[in-house]
Structure 1
Amino acid sequence: MKDKYHNTMGFGWWRLVGAALAGILFFHGLCLSEKAPNYSFTHEATSAPEVSYYDYIIVGGGTAGCPLAATLSQNYTVLLLERGGSPYGNPNITDLAAFGAALSDLSPKSPSQRFISEDGVINARARVLGGGSCINAGFYSRAATDYVSKAGWDGQLVNESYRWVENKVAFLPPVRQWQSAVRDGLLEAGVVPNNGFTYDHINGTKVGGTIFDRDGHRHTAADLLEYANPSGITVLLHASVHKILFRIKGKSRPLAHGVTFRDALGMKHRAYLKIGSKNEIIVSSGALASPQLLMLSGVGPSQHLKAHNITVVLDQPLVGQGMSDNSMNAIFVPSPVPVEVSLIQVVGITSFGSYIEASSGENFAGTAPPSPGRDFGMFSPKIGQLSTLPPKQRTPEAIAKAVEAMSALDDAAFRGGFILEKIMGPLSTGHLQLQNRNPNDNPSVTFNYFKEPEDLQRCVNGIKVIETIIESKSFSQFRYDSLSLPALLNMTASFPVNLLPKHNNASTSLEQFCKDTVMTIWHYHGGCQVGRVVDHDYKVLGVDALRVIDGSTFNYSPGTNPQATVMMLGRYMGVRILSERLANDKPK
């Protein structure tokens, strides 16, 4: 029996209702995509006064920050500080066919900032209003009901918050031949039942949502600012926050009361909380920048802070701990027939803790074919997804060599797609540390992929399911019968990306395959976890008037893709904060 917190869209006649709603949302998405919103409250930080005052200051206009700011602005004045620019008008963000172009752009003005973990896996973080929802592969799927329960969230408000998000950004994807074959192959492989189209996280095979509308236009967390009260919100772009300011009197707890930030010209500004016992600063800067900013502000491991000449406000050794990244491994399947361009649409949620997904076709990175700009979309070495070499050998020179080899391939090489597996959790964790005191530079982060044996076994089991899909009757039209799984795992001469590195031994174990070909699926989290750095109301332990609300608070990544839950969390906590304040402000 389903518990009362579970959305029932995935079952029975609710599927038909869901499909009908998706059709309405498609039309809604078409209307939205015709004209980008003209937010009167959005300005360049260069226009900001030297000193300003607000009820709430939110650091980070990303996947959580935008819905949070929009919600709080209904009753209070909100300043939303975003270090990047606007996503609107940038086809590398808005167009599905250009996926990967933003991730491969390494310029200082790119909406994506590359970083390389100490494990050697190349990754990316967002630098744009809307955050990771502007540069991801678009899959939209809710968290599991047991995740909601373990998080201690109110199920009814969770569902209401998801729907609030979905009214603006979620759509039914057009499932065509490749994705349909993967779906049917999953069912043949025993990843059952067939749950149809649903946003819910249910064991079996399903079609999930997408933030791309039917015309292939992306909708992002920035669109949720349409809910904002224009008179209650100020959004500043290219505003880089350098420090949270604290008041410390005697033996009382440190009180957050302001921030310092710099604009695009390097000019310094200060924003303070208005006098009021309930006003707060909320950090929503993501899994890298949130723990980084706490440390830069003096909240973190004291010895580490002192090593960087940072005055210690609070010795909090757990800031930056518990960093995790969901590993991804993929197999390229060359096709004898053309395939459509698709990102993630279908997912198999297995009982053993691995998620099976797929993408297909050639993405052109914003350029018309035939062009050196062609690539394999979310598995292109241009964006750092180079699995022909083990992680620490993925140097800039190696990437350049792979890109050159890819550009020389015959057009037939680009017919096909990838079937991938991502492990649940994961159980393996690492840590984050400062490299310097510049908030715009990447911190040092270690994820310790496959440190826990269970994570490695989940990867192996996922690859075995992929083998069954490839060999299934449903997938036969997209398979060269002469290519077995071992051949697919070991071929590198003709396909220089995302396949198993050559080894001296005749065959390589699936365990070694997982280790050598590990990539990111950009779902890293941790660093400010609930129960360790923040409490269950997301208030930073040991200080006052400061919260962290974003993916850095997660102990595990929710569902098959976290973006829906991160957007939901921004709305959810905004409603919670408003409700608590309004209740306290009522006359007794």
Structure 2
Amino acid sequence: MDFASSYDYVVVGAGAAGCVVARRLLDRTDASVLVLEAGGTDDRDSVHHTDIASMTSMWGDPTVTWPYETAAQPALNGRTVHLPQGRLVGGGTSVNAMMYVRGNRRDFDHWNFLGNEGWSYEDVLPYFRRSENYHGASSLYRGADGPLDVVPYPAPSEASLAFLDAARELGFDGGADWDYNGERQENAAFLYQSTRTPGDRRASTATAFLDPLRDDPRLTVHTGATATRVVLSGGVAVGVEYVAGDARHVVGATSEVVVCAGALASPKLLMLSGIGPAAELARHGVDTVVDLPGVGRNLQDHLLFGVAYQSLRDLAFPQLLSEAGIFVHTREGLPAASPDLQYFFGPVQFVDDRYRVDGPGFTFAPILARPHSRGTVSLRSADPLDLPVVDPGYLTAEADVDVLVRGITLARELVETSAFSALRGRELAPGGHLTDRKDLAGYVRESASTVWHPVGTCRMGADRDAVVDARLRTVGVDRLRVADASVMPTITAGNTNAATIMIAEKAADLIVEAAG
């Protein structure tokens, strides 16, 4: 097949994963790399500032985020949930809350248990270390010479220090210097680490990985370029079709196509290319090339909500959306599993307006760290410019509701410790009058929303529903890999950005190994 232009590798998506894959291919090979990014450049000031106002100003802005919205969620009282995703170079890493959480070591051991060779914690730890330049205490678990700056939280509020003390009163470990990305994550309170430079600029994968090689003639980055299908010939990926403005383009890939478009866009692109559930494709008039029923299935996401209190003292405004946190198990009988409950905590009133009051406050935000509920991403139509239908199936597993109800009761136990005695005012939300499980579950269903961590829709594995194998090769198609959060078999306990970067680091090694 003849193409107007060809590259050794075409990477679809310049987000958390795509920037890393491109950089590492350039580092380790002599290949030419084209990166296609549907969004624009990352040149607006708010991308690089780290203050919360600049960050939140981008959320929901369609010039830098995709306006995804879920289908109505029956278990959330029929609500739809806004689920914006990054729409610019750097993807989510250019608009996210800059919190750096690797996940629990058991997460990766579980991926390995599911048959994914090479994905145990010991296997992936070197990739975490490779990517980061950690500015805290050195250890065997942390990297110090990678492209991505990670800093400890510099100036916690009085409330967050009280959170650390309260956790210790209840028998947990931890403290201001506890490294939850180190030897042990669970059962220890800590201060969150952040992807920013020591000079207080956002460290996205674009600035950390891609920018240093922008002058390399082997790298081409096309923004405003929406991939519409992977071009297949005889079961082999040979190129990518994309639209830019009103023009349609087809570009060749002589080695591989690497899809890094994220857990919502990657399965959509595969389906538009004829790779996916045959019945779903036929419904939209898309010819099936490979019947892969798992494409778009297995969607998982983290949910959170606020448990808020008035503060009896003024509190300094935070420099990070969440200052402190902890990971715990809500059920005693699962010590070999990853913790199922995470907290964000900070000196703000993170609740709906109807619960807010004038003056200072602080909020515990319980997070469903290991959801049992599963959802889907499906085509809305065969038009590549239509966003897919996203149905996460939030809280369809009652066990997930149990975890979040426990999140309320544990927050109440923490706030009743002596550590909070000088700060503790009235409970604003859900309100101290709500005590039985039915009422607390009702508050969870009316208040819970996404932490913007969709994963799992092109999961790796060896069974019938797997989309990629353990080397991230798409089942039934040669020279086509997926390398982003969509390949996670199960979601990590904690924010997914760091694990997505790790996946991209490992993917680059797998690609280079395949090239010989």
- Which TM-score band (shorter chain)? 0.7 to 0.9
2:293 counterpart (299, 317, 330) = 317
Displacement of 1:112 in angstroms is: 4.7
Aligned partner of residue 262 in structure 1, secondary structure:
strand
Match in the other structure for 2:412:
467
Displacement of 1:212 in angstroms is: 3.1
TM-score scaled by structure 2? 0.83
1:81 counterpart (17, 36, 43) = 36
Displacement of 1:298 in angstroms is: 0.9
Match in the other structure for 2:250:
270
Aligned partner letter, 1:509 = D
Output aligned runs, 1:392-411, within 5 Å: none
Aligned partner letter, 1:360 = P
Aligned partner of residue 358 in structure 2, secondary structure:
helix
Output aligned runs, 1:116-135, within 5 Å: 116-119=70-73, 120-135=80-95
CA distance in 1, matches of 2:173, 2:406: 16
Match in the other structure for 1:197:
179
CA distance in 2, matches of 1:190, 1:437: 55
Match in the other structure for 1:425:
370
Aligned partner letter, 1:66 = C
Displacement of 1:93 in angstroms is: 5.3
Q: Which moved more, 1:287-296 or 1:154-163?
A: 154-163
Match in the other structure for 1:571:
505
Aligned partner letter, 1:53 = S
CA distance in 2, matches of 1:52, 1:338: 61
Output aligned runs, 1:420-499, within 5 Å: 420-480=365-425, 483=426, 485=427, 488-490=429-431
- Please list the CA deviations of residues 444-503 of structure 1 after superposition, one character each: whole Å capped at 9, or x if unmatched: 1111222222211111111111111222222233321xx2x5x63149xxxxxxxx9xx9
Aligned partner letter, 1:270 = V
CA distance in 2, matches of 1:132, 1:203: 26
Output aligned runs, 1:53-202, within 5 Å: 53-74=6-27, 75=29, 76-91=31-46, 94-98=49-53, 99-105=55-61, 107=62, 109-119=63-73, 120-151=80-111, 152-153=118-119, 158-167=124-133, 168-177=148-157, 178-194=159-175, 196-200=178-182, 202=185
Instruction: Work out whether residues 210 and 345 of structure 1, in 8 Å CA contact, stay in contact via their aligned partners in 2.
Output: no
Change (3 A) 1:516 1:219: same
Change (3 A) 1:243 1:175: same
Output aligned runs, 1:209-248, within 5 Å: 209-213=193-197, 216-223=200-207, 224-226=209-211, 228=213, 230-248=216-234
Q: Which moved more, 1:205-214 or 1:444-453?
A: 205-214
CA distance in 1, matches of 2:495, 2:436: 36
Change (3 A) 1:214 1:185: farther
Match in the other structure for 2:443:
513
CA distance in 2, matches of 1:580, 1:53: 20
Displacement of 1:134 in angstroms is: 1.6
Match in the other structure for 2:190:
206
- Please list the CA deviations of residues 44-94 of structure 1 after superposition, one character each: whole Å capped at 9, or x if unmatched: xxxxxx832111111011101111110012311111111111223331553
CA distance in 2, matches of 1:307, 1:314: 15
Change (3 A) 1:53 1:547: same
Aligned partner of residue 116 in structure 1, secondary structure:
coil
Instruction: Work out whether residues 173 and 212 of structure 1, in 8 Å CA contact, stay in contact via their aligned partners in 2.
Output: no
Change (3 A) 1:175 1:461: farther
Displacement of 1:173 in angstroms is: 1.2
CA distance in 2, matches of 1:160, 1:538: 18
Aligned partner letter, 2:109 = S
Output aligned runs, 1:515-534, within 5 Å: 515-531=445-461, 532-534=466-468
Instruction: Work out whether residues 320 and 528 of structure 1, in 8 Å CA contact, stay in contact via their aligned partners in 2.
Output: yes
Instruction: Work out whether residues 530 and 538 of structure 1, in 8 Å CA contact, stay in contact via their aligned partners in 2.
Output: yes
Match in the other structure for 2:278:
302
Change (3 A) 1:576 1:318: closer
Displacement of 1:101 in angstroms is: 0.8
CA distance in 1, matches of 2:59, 2:66: 6
Change (3 A) 1:58 1:462: same
CA distance in 2, matches of 1:179, 1:214: 22
Displacement of 1:104 in angstroms is: 3.5
Instruction: Work out whether residues 357 and 419 of structure 1, in 8 Å CA contact, stay in contact via their aligned partners in 2.
Output: yes
What percentage of aligned pairs have identical amino acids? 25
- Please list the CA deviations of residues 348-395 of structure 1 after superposition, one character each: whole Å capped at 9, or x if unmatched: 11023201121334xxxxxxxxxxxxxx6xx4xxxxxxx75xxxxxxx
Displacement of 1:213 in angstroms is: 3.9
Aligned partner letter, 1:347 = G
Aligned partner letter, 2:11 = I
RMSD across aligned C-alpha pairs, in angstroms? 2.6
Change (3 A) 1:67 1:306: same
Aligned partner letter, 1:549 = A
Displacement of 1:157 in angstroms is: 5.9
1:328 counterpart (279, 298, 304) = 304
**Gap regions ≥5 residues in structure 1:** 1-49, 249-253, 362-375, 380-386, 389-401, 492-499
CA distance in 1, matches of 2:19, 2:436: 52
Match in the other structure for 2:324:
346
Displacement of 1:284 in angstroms is: 0.6
Q: Which moved more, 1:529-538 or 1:330-339?
A: 330-339
Q: Does 1:289 align with 2:289?
A: no
Displacement of 1:218 in angstroms is: 1.5
Output aligned runs, 1:531-570, within 5 Å: 531=461, 532-570=466-504
Instruction: Work out whether residues 305 and 365 of structure 2, in 8 Å CA contact, stay in contact via their aligned partners in 1.
Output: yes
CA distance in 2, matches of 1:189, 1:155: 29
Aligned partner letter, 1:356 = Y
Q: Which moved more, 1:530-539 or 1:451-460?
A: 451-460
CA distance in 1, matches of 2:172, 2:372: 23
Q: Rg: which structure is higher?
A: 1
**Gap regions ≥5 residues in structure 2:** 74-79, 112-117, 134-147, 331-339
More helix as a share of residues: 1
CA distance in 2, matches of 1:83, 1:516: 34
Aligned partner of residue 212 in structure 1, secondary structure:
coil
